[in-house]
Amino acid sequence: MYNRRKFIRATAFSLGAGLTAAQAASATATSNTNTDINGIESKPSGQPLKNTAAIISPVVISTWDAGLEANKAAWTILTNEGRALDAVERGVMVTEESLNCCVGLGANPDRDGIVTLDACIMDEAFNCGAVAFLERIKHPICVARRVMEKTPHVMLVGEGAQQFAQAEGFTLEPKVLSKTAQASYEEWLKRSNYRSPRINIENQKGHGPFAPAKLPNGEWNHDTIGMLALDMFGHLSGSCTTSGAGFKMRGRVGDSPIIGAGLYVDNEVGACVATGQGEDVIRVAGASMVVEAMRQGRSPEAACQALIERVIRIKKEKAKDIQVAFLALDNKGNTGAYAIHPGFSYALRSATEEKLIVAKSYFT
């Protein structure tokens, strides 16, 4: 079994050739055991689908500039016979533990000064898990995966999610803000002007719910990290994690932990993840509708564009004030994205490329 998998990898990478459907299906059959990245044995999250794809060269994409670093971690897994599910979990953990405004415990708090985190994950066989309104846990994406694998449920929130995380061995981190978040919060408190989020547009002007615009390391900020991967066995998976809108109302949850809105994966077609103003992603069931648009024959970019145009039709004039972007990957490894406003980019890693791609947008 081991040798056969090695052979398949060698074929895919050194000869640059695709697998035959029979080889891919056979490889799929060998990939159905699972020790998760925390070293804890868990049952397989689902029976892999019978794979019919002929070319299985791994790809990973993720939202915003931070995706470049996150992709590196995912790529290591993808090129070592790993599952897309493990890759998308490990990849976004990099962003969760980095200092940034909008993902992980170092991010901006809600208007009561508390960081609350949302995340979800989905594999190739419609298994999915999510957490929302979760406090003091460093890696919400790992808790989302445990919800998927260890409970009969899809989503746990708030105190219940935290209790579950602790029962699963996750450490409760101190209830303190990062230095950057503390400074941003104190600045925000001077005005305390709560209003609905105007994501990303204002980031680039240095204020707004996802401020600060520029991080100490010079990177532009972002509101979410969403990641999609296709592994060498032809399996798609996706992950999404965020602290949501900075200085949000206590209890506010956006699209990021909502399966079908912030993330959706259907291995027969493709996968999609959303970023930007969550309320406007939820109202169009964004990610799942992008996947449906791909099912009807649209390319990943055209499918993302179709949903952005739907958001704009619904929001009318107000569309000028919001940013939403969709990022999609089909089951053949084609990628695409589309945003309402300029400024959204995504990171791509494949056997031949490692780069940031600027997405097209409705407004220019």
Nearest distance, CB of residue 262 and ligand GLY, angstroms: 6
Q: Is 256 in the site for ligand GLY (CB under 6 A)?
A: yes
Nearest distance, CB of residue 254 and ligand GLY, angstroms: 2
Q: Which residues pair with 188 in a beta bridge?
A: none
Contact 200, 213 (CB under 8 A): no
Nearest distance, CB of residue 360 and ligand GLY, angstroms: 20
- Catalytic residue list: 224
> Between the CA of residue 316 and those of 112, 320, 321, 359, what are the distances in Å?
32, 8, 10, 22
Residue span binding ligand GLY (CB under 6 A) among the ranges 70-78, 86-94, 168-176, 251-259: 251-259
Strand, coil or helix: 295: helix
Contact 251, 133 (CB under 8 A): yes
Binding mask 208-227 for ligand GLY (x = CB under 6 A): ---------------xx---
Nearest distance, CB of residue 122 and ligand GLY, angstroms: 16
Residue span binding ligand GLY (CB under 6 A) among the ranges 19-27, 168-176, 240-248, 334-342: 240-248
CA distance 65 to 51: 32
Neighbours of 310 (CB within 10 A): 16
Nearest distance, CB of residue 340 and ligand GLY, angstroms: 13
Neighbours of 132 (CB within 10 A): 24
> Judged by CB, which is closer to ligand GLY: 224, or 350?
224
> Judged by CB, which is closer to ligand GLY: 49, or 259?
259
Q: Is 245 in the site for ligand GLY (CB under 6 A)?
A: yes
Strand, coil or helix: 221: coil
Rg, the chain, Cα only? 19
Q: List, in order, residues 6 or more apart from 287 with CB less than 8 Å away.
A: 260, 261, 262, 263, 264, 271, 272, 273, 274, 281, 326
Q: List, in order, residues 6 or more apart from 17 with CB less than 8 Å away.
A: 11
Which tokens belong to 337?
């994205």
Neighbours of 266 (CB within 10 A): 18
Q: Is 254 in the site for ligand GLY (CB under 6 A)?
A: yes
Q: Is 91 in the site for ligand GLY (CB under 6 A)?
A: no
Q: Is 124 in the site for ligand GLY (CB under 6 A)?
A: no
Residue span binding ligand GLY (CB under 6 A) among the ranges 184-192, 229-237, 250-258, 302-310: 250-258
> Judged by CB, which is closer to ligand GLY: 110, or 266?
110
One of 91, 244, 246, 260 touching ligand GLY (CB under 6 A): 244
Interface size with ligand GLY, residues (CB under 6 A) = 12
> Judged by CB, which is closer to ligand GLY: 89, or 223?
223
CA distance 101 to 109: 9
Q: Which residues pair with 239 in a beta bridge?
A: 121, 227
> Judged by CB, which is closer to ligand GLY: 277, or 288?
277
Nearest distance, CB of residue 38 and ligand GLY, angstroms: 25
CA distance 218 to 225: 18
Contact 335, 348 (CB under 8 A): yes
Neighbours of 334 (CB within 10 A): 15
Residues between 276 and 295 that touch ligand GLY (CB under 6 A) = 276-278
Which of 224, 275, 243 is CA-nearest to residue 107? 243
> Between the CA of residue 232 and those of 89, 196, 337, what are the distances in Å?
17, 42, 23
Nearest distance, CB of residue 163 and ligand GLY, angstroms: 23
> Judged by CB, which is closer to ligand GLY: 43, or 195?
195
One of 51, 241, 275, 323 touching ligand GLY (CB under 6 A): 275
Residues between 292 and 331 that touch ligand GLY (CB under 6 A) = none
> Judged by CB, which is closer to ligand GLY: 123, or 223?
223
Q: Which residues bind ligand GLY (CB under 6 A)?
A: 223-224, 242, 244-245, 254-256, 275-278
